[in-house]
Amino acid sequence: MSNISVAKTPAKESFADLLEESLRGRTSFEGSVVKGYVLSIDDDFVTVDVGLKSEGRIPLREFAGPGRAPEVKAGDFIDVYVERMEDKNGCAVLSVEKARREAAWGELEKASITGDLVNGVIFGKVKGGFAVDLEGAVAFLPGSQVDVRPIRDITPLMNIAQPFKILKMDKLRSNIVVSRRAVLEDNRSEQRAELVSNLSEGQVLEGIVKNITDYGAFIDLGGVDGLLHVTDISWRRINHPGDVLKVGEAIQVQVIRFNRDTQRISLGMKQLEADPWKGVEERYVPGSRHKGKITNIADYGAFVELEPAVEGLIYVTEMSWTKKNVHPSKILTQSQEVEVQVLEVDMTKRRISLGLKQCSENPWIRFAEQYPAGSILEGEIKNITEFGMFVGVDEEIDGMVHMTDVSWDNGEDSAQFKKGDVVKVKVLDVDPEKERISLGIKQLNNDPFATALEGIKKGAIVTCTITDVNDKGLEVSLESGLTGSIKKIDLSRERSEQRPDRFAVGEKVDAMVTSLDRSGRKVALSIKAREIDEEKKAMSEYGSADSGASLGDILGEAMNKAKTTPTKSKKAEAEA
């Protein structure tokens, strides 16, 4: 059965008076707000008499406010908006919503001009924002104007009366834009002034996380924002503020710096906790070993958490004795448990330098103890460069044979070897501090140059064979196998005779040894020095230039004496 409520018809005089007052001289009902009399309520419709030849039917839902049940009963006098005198069924087209809207527009226009706040109720979500009921007029609340900070869930703000500020009105388009944020900001300005006047460093406040960036988070302190830098969030390492904080979260912070001139506020969370670095230098003495967990790996090293909020750094050069040009991620992994040794503690910079390789045996020291200089061993050629060869002498380390230590003959080099060859080498030097091992191949045999030099001293007269004639002088070979050279200026004591073209390849000449170049493996010779030496000896034995005799006379006499006086060896032969 239908639910029907019927009212008694009012006196004609009283209803006519109300109708005439609502028309106020208008000639047409359409587009007007007039008084109507509720005749009955039939299920979802309300029948209303407005003095026309036919009644109008208004949907019952128009009498319900946001979040409220319909408030109407038979016999009530209500304001209705006449849209049309009659529809195709001959009934008047009436609206309570439009009547309320028309009534509200006047008040809203006044509030828009004066800047006064208006009360409204958020009752629905629309594209880009929300719908607000301003006591009959529907306004648009943009999403950006809901609050001073982003709100993910607006449910607690819906269906409750609250103040709004009108931003824009357009009656022709029935468009009203309102802001709740503007109301909050006006209130915040008062709170801001009060907060700033009472703000001081060291003060502990409660704030709301307003925004999160890579370098920190902005905290709303209730009218004024402060910056919580990422380094002041926690004593432990934080990769990104978003790992710890969330927008809208309420947190406790301490004012660590406040500049009244710029109104900049620096905040801290970790300052509210005990400093974990207190006593670190007593707990982590250089040389002591500790266990920790890898928390972060970078190009330059790895961070190790020794205890909550206390980390140390293993620099890449302190990770391995042998793996040099390797990225730390090739040696260590995230969250790996490691044993490290404390190398240095800097309390001022809050830095602990750690070493990983120091917790294992140093292969360079081990090698030096096992193979001192002079030891002979075999190894595989790992690499060949223009300056020498790297030979594997241990499972972890290599030694280097410099190109000058490959062969005694400078005409030979490392080209005679190839990568992968197993060679015998001699340990020349081991420097564990610099992590260097010097090896030699030529040192396995005696130096042929040194052997050939036996019996040859500076100033000795030797017979040599010319192997090359050039503009600079002569290249010669000695009977011992050594090579030497005679400069052009040393070819003769007479300048006119200092001509290389006087000599021929294969010719034998006597010369004096003037120097021995062991590094260059050459002997410097001089015919000029030999001639001068012979002259000095002749002058000493047969005469003096002071006696008036010429050099020719002295030499002639010496030759004659040599012919007439037999040598000791010839006398010996004759006696025999």
Instruction: Give me the CATH number covering residue 313.
Output: 2.40.50.140
The answer to whether residues 50 and 39 touch, using CB atoms and an 8 Å cutoff, is: no
466-514 pLDDT, tens digit per residue, is: 999 999 999 998 877 788 899 999 898 888 888 999 999 999 999 999 9
For residue 300, the enclosing domain spans: 287-359
Question: Per the domain annotation, does 278 fall within a domain?
Answer: no
What does the alpha-carbon distance between residue 482 and residue 488 come to, in Å, rounded to a whole number? 20
The sign of the CA dihedral 548, 552, 553, 559 is: positive
Domain match, 515 and 485 both: yes
Domain match, 83 and 166 both: no
The answer to whether residues 225 and 218 touch, using CB atoms and an 8 Å cutoff, is: yes
What global pTM score does this model have?
Answer: 0.46
Question: 98 in helix, strand or coil?
Answer: helix
Question: 201 in helix, strand or coil?
Answer: coil
The mean pLDDT of 397-412, rounded to a whole number, is: 79
Q: Measuring CA to CA, how many Å separate 395 from each of 117, 380, 426, 432?
A: 84, 11, 18, 16
Question: 29 in helix, strand or coil?
Answer: coil
Question: What proportion of the chain, given as a percentage, has pLDDT over 70?
Answer: 85
The mean pLDDT of 172-195, rounded to a whole number, is: 82
Distance in angstroms between the alpha carbons of the first and the last residue of the chain: 173
173 has pLDDT over 70? yes
Question: Per the domain annotation, does 192 fall within a domain?
Answer: no
Pick the last residue of a domain from 41, 70, 101.
Answer: 101
What does the alpha-carbon distance between residue 255 and residue 157 come to, in Å, rounded to a whole number? 32
Domain match, 490 and 525 both: yes
What does the alpha-carbon distance between residue 541 and residue 554 come to, in Å, rounded to a whole number? 9
Question: Per the domain annotation, does 76 fall within a domain?
Answer: yes
569 has pLDDT over 60? no
Question: Per the domain annotation, does 106 fall within a domain?
Answer: no
- Number of structural domains in the chain: 7
Question: 427 in helix, strand or coil?
Answer: strand
What does the alpha-carbon distance between residue 410 and residue 403 come to, in Å, rounded to a whole number? 9
What does the alpha-carbon distance between residue 398 and residue 376 come to, in Å, rounded to a whole number? 15
Q: What is the pLDDT of residue 263?
A: 81
Q: Measuring CA to CA, how many Å separate 371 from each of 97, 368, 377, 396, 471?
A: 103, 5, 9, 15, 51
254 has pLDDT over 90? yes
Strands 137-142 and 118-126: unpaired
480-491 pLDDT, tens digit per residue, is: 778 889 999 989
The sign of the CA dihedral 27, 30, 31, 33 is: positive
What does the alpha-carbon distance between residue 223 and residue 163 come to, in Å, rounded to a whole number? 19
Domain match, 69 and 136 both: no
Residues 6 or more apart whose CB falls under 8 angstroms from that of 99 comprise 33, 78, 79, 80, 81, 136
DSSP 386-413: TTEEEEE-SSS-EEEEEGGGS-SSTT--
Domain match, 97 and 14 both: yes
Q: What is the pLDDT of residue 468?
A: 92
Q: What is the pLDDT of residue 411?
A: 47
